Structure 1
Amino acid sequence: MGSLEEKIERDPFDNLNEDDDQTPFASSPSASKVRPFNFETTVVDLRSSSAFNIRRISRSIYFVLIKAKINILLPFGPFAILLHYLTGHQGWVFFFTLLGITPLAERLGYTTEQLAFYTGPTVGGLLNATFGNATEMIISIYALKSNMMRVVKQSLLGSILSNMLLVLGCAFFTGGIAHYKKVQVFDKAAAIVNSGLLLMAVMGILFPAVLYFTHSEVHEGKSVLSLSRFSSCIMLVAYASYLFFQLRSQQNVYTPVNEEGDDGENSDEEEELELTQWEAIAWLAILTAWMSILSGYLVDTIEGASKSLNMSMAFISVILLPIVGNAAEHASAIMFAVKDKLDITIGVAIGSSTQISMFVIPFCVVIGWCMGKEMDLNFQLFETATLFITVLVVAFMMQEGTSNYFKGLMLVLCYLIVAASFFVHDDPIKSGND
């Protein structure tokens, strides 16, 4: 990329100064006249500079929109919008919108990683924390605006369950199969810290639900909301402290994902700089804007899709939506597990669950507070119990600091049980509001 940066900074008029050592007025007959301004050369230089910019833009488009195999799903986004206005069949619009958002989630992760090369590990970690779950945040904000608080809660809960059971389970299973002759290990310290944060998130979600179902509120109908907002602020402070602890105080122990692989073995193939800083920023804005547009259509068609597909809103929100948001995490976790880099796998799968539970969920409560929406942490009894059991199962699976295909298979089977449970679960709250 050094040569690329040099070309970007090259002045197209540099060649006009190549003969500055020749004096305009000289005694020799060949140099007795003032050298005229070479208009043709200037035009050629400007054209070559424009051609270089076009090549650079084409190269950027190739890396972001063409190179990855998952980009084959990108046309489904415009097709879903076209289908919405031509047919109005909400089931098909919902399905194709899901397909269209899937590659956007993966490409957002790619551009964030590219930008992290320029910002350094600290800011890069914050960028990963913010944009790593951008899909869930954008869908949640649109659902909040539409007063669909249950969709917000269930989709975020589903992202946590999907990351901890399905993503981590598939990664453990494929890694165990690829390295069946040895026991894969990972750093127990980082896993324990993430497990502790997940248990803290369970505490923040459990108490409002218990307060609601035991009818022990001091101010009926208000105490749960007040407790949720207070707990959300505490959880955001805890997550900010965790980021500082991870990126500053314990850099050698809790290395960010984009710094792994510095052992020189596989770092070149995993960490390749392909975009300039401003290209990464521009693509980040473009992808986020396009995802916001598709998220609006997705949220608007959830209820219609539930009726046309004969599926419950709970199953769509907890199982189907998170599969889209976790597409990038799923692929990355499996890839690193196969390469025997389980520390990065844990950071991707469990770290993403930690971000959602300690950052995205409290953030949605605070945003709802600012929007005048009564978004709280009462996830209802069934969902809260599911989250509590899941965190306990994953914590026990990781306590030894080892992994094998059998543990991965157990986690995947647990996810199938959860999916079947939500398929037959009838949400007691029928409306979008709680």
Structure 2
Amino acid sequence: MSKVRTSLLIITFLLSAVSHYLHFDPLIQFVLSAIAVVFVAGFLGKATENVAHYAGERLGGFLNATFGNAAELIIAIFLVKEGLYDMVKASLTGSIIGNLLLVLGLSIFLGGTKFKVQNFNQSLAGMNGSLMIVAVIALFVPAVFFNTHTITVPQTETLSLIVAGILIVSYIAWIIFSMITHKDILTENVAEGEDHEEPAWSKKKSIAYLVLATVMVAFVSEWLVGTLETLTVRFGLSEIFVGAFLVAIVGNAAEHSAAVLLAMKNKIGAAVEIAVGSSLQIALFVAPVLVFTSFFFGNTMDIVFTTIELVAIGVAVFISKSIIQDGSTNWYEGLLLMAVYAILGVSFFLI
């Protein structure tokens, strides 16, 4: 990281801390915390990119998605603790559609402006598409049964816990499948003569910075969450818009920085792995973990999403699967993804 960026990281983090502990106006706290999250997420993305260099592309992409989701997971846990379940589900929705439409779209678009056509592993794209459909089914079924009054509220909570458990097992099985048993099939082939950049930090320093960045994300996320309820009331915004777009865009900053950077280096396979893999991780792991977290807090959060959220997720999965399934991308396809994101953003804002 440059000295200027490091200085901005430290300054914004300290300003966010001061505004929180000295109880500044909630709007000021939100703005400072949001700016701090962006810089901290950039630091997290840089650290993850360096760790990924030592771990290999597949494992590196997984680590990038995992630590890139640290902000969303930590923010969501604090929201669950506060009992703001509607906002939690909205933030999960926003993370899924944000990664599939905005992060992936921006990566494909900017990468496509430098390279006419970018190719990646078609087998991996197909498997990711199938997993995304499973995630949609898992979210769709409980909502249908609950909204048709086929099952009671207690039964819905039980169903949510069972579905959450199945999704976690499925995600663990996917890791075993993609990282161990079928690793050779899903590994992106490296083109001959491809330029390999040296990492900025040593292995130990990269790991240490990754841990430090995650801790910083945890603090800033808690400060950010503390302002949301007040801002929602003050500006008359719906919880679904705040969760699905404001929180999600800030939380996705790590994925933005890493995926876009890789796409512009003609490493579209790694960029897709981060964007799509991150969405899968949210749907198959983060959401179920939050259901179990709420259970241990003593008030189980069901996995019933609203019709609007299900439509948004379904649309995002449909268009992104259509675009990545052939293993080839261009700038216009990226533009289409961002157009769908803009349509959903305006619709959510008007709620």
1:157 to 80, 84, 93: 93
Cα separation, 2, equivalents of 1:272 and 1:389 = 38
TM-score (normalised: structure 2): 0.91
Q: Is the 8 A contact 2:41 2:253 kept in 1?
A: yes
Matches within 5 A, 1:179-258: 179=115, 182-217=116-151, 220-255=152-187
User: Where does the alignment leave 5 or more consecutive residues of structure 2 unmatched?
Assistant: none
SS of aligned partner of 1:75: helix
1:383 to 298, 309, 312: 309
- Pick closer, same or farther for the CA change 1:240–1:129 going to 2, 3 Å: farther
Q: Is the 8 A contact 1:228 1:377 kept in 2?
A: yes
Q: Does 1:272 align with 2:199?
A: yes
Cα separation, 2, equivalents of 1:288 and 1:251 = 28
Q: Is the 8 A contact 1:333 1:344 kept in 2?
A: yes
Matches within 5 A, 1:53-68: 63=1, 66-67=2-3
Q: Does 1:132 align with 2:68?
A: yes
What's the offset of the Cα at 1:215? 0.6
Letter of the 2:169 partner, please give it: V
Cα separation, 2, equivalents of 1:113 and 1:177 = 23
Cα separation, 1, equivalents of 2:263 and 2:58 = 25
- Pick closer, same or farther for the CA change 1:392–1:116 going to 2, 3 Å: closer
Aligned position for 1:363:
289
Cα separation, 2, equivalents of 1:390 and 1:125 = 21
- Pick closer, same or farther for the CA change 1:73–1:312 going to 2, 3 Å: farther
Letter of the 1:201 partner, please give it: A
- Pick closer, same or farther for the CA change 1:375–1:323 going to 2, 3 Å: same
What's the offset of the Cα at 1:166? 0.8
SS of aligned partner of 1:375: coil
Cα separation, 2, equivalents of 1:318 and 1:392 = 18
What's the offset of the Cα at 1:85? 4.6
Q: Which has the greater radius of gyration?
A: 1
TM-score (normalised: structure 1): 0.74
Q: Mean Cα displacement is larger for which, 167-176 or 191-200?
A: 167-176
Matches within 5 A, 1:258-407: 263-267=192-196, 269=197, 271-272=198-199, 274-277=201-204, 279-407=205-333
- Percent of paired sites with the same residue: 34
1:105 to 33, 38, 41: 41
Q: Is the 8 A contact 1:165 1:412 kept in 2?
A: yes
User: Where does the alignment leave 5 or more consecutive residues of structure 1 unmatched?
Assistant: 1-62, 426-434
- Pick closer, same or farther for the CA change 1:73–1:420 going to 2, 3 Å: farther
What's the offset of the Cα at 1:122? 8.4
Task: Write the deviation string for residues 262-284 of structure 1: whole angstroms up to 9, x where unpaired.
Answer: 745211x1x4151342x344433
Higher RCO structure, 1 or 2 (CA under 8 Å, sep 6+): 2
What's the offset of the Cα at 1:194? 0.8
Cα separation, 1, equivalents of 2:110 and 2:64 = 25
Task: Write the deviation string for residues 386-416 of structure 1: whole angstroms up to 9, x where unpaired.
Answer: 1112111111122332212221111111000
What's the offset of the Cα at 1:165? 0.6
What's the offset of the Cα at 1:67? 4.9
Letter of the 2:114 partner, please give it: A
Q: Is the 8 A contact 2:9 2:40 kept in 1?
A: no
Once superposed, what is the RMSD of the aligned Cα atoms?
A: 2.4
Task: Write the deviation string for residues 249-305 of structure 1: whole angstroms up to 9, x where unpaired.
Answer: 22223238xxx75745211x1x4151342x344433333332222222211110112
Cα separation, 1, equivalents of 2:283 and 2:64 = 15
Q: Mean Cα displacement is larger for which, 160-169 or 321-330?
A: 321-330
Q: Does 1:168 align with 2:104?
A: yes
What's the offset of the Cα at 1:368? 1.7
Letter of the 2:99 partner, please give it: N
Q: Is the 8 A contact 2:33 2:223 kept in 1?
A: yes
- Pick closer, same or farther for the CA change 1:351–1:262 going to 2, 3 Å: same
